[in-house]
Amino acid sequence: MWLSLRTYMSEKRLEVRFLTTSDIADRVMPALLAEREAIESETGTPLEWVTDGDDKGKGVRLFSDGDILDRAAWPVATAHARILCA
């Protein structure tokens, strides 16, 4: 399992993602998806659910507008990381 922060500098977008290998996700994702509405309600934002079987794993991603070079964007990025770790 891994948590990562990605930045798309040309688009000024940030991505926080929590992913795990497909074998673990295949056991966990059905329970998470069953609670999807409640999870998104608690986080206050829609999440992108990665459920396909690609080699990058499965999990959830959260996108926001922001430039990683702008320190004002950092609190949002770290808040999103905390959301996905909760």
Question: With the C-alpha atoms ordered 34, 37, 41, 46, is the resulting torsion angle positive or negative?
Answer: positive
For 45-84, the pLDDT digits (tens) are 888 898 876 666 788 888 888 888 888 888 887 887 777 7
Tell me which residue has tokens 């396909």: 52
Strands in the chain per DSSP E: 2-8, 13-20, 48-50, 58-65
Write down the pTM of the prediction.
0.69
Residues 5-33 have pLDDT tens digits of 888 888 888 888 888 887 888 888 898 89
Residue-range domain boundaries for the chain? 2-85
CATH number attached to the domain at 2-85: 3.30.1360
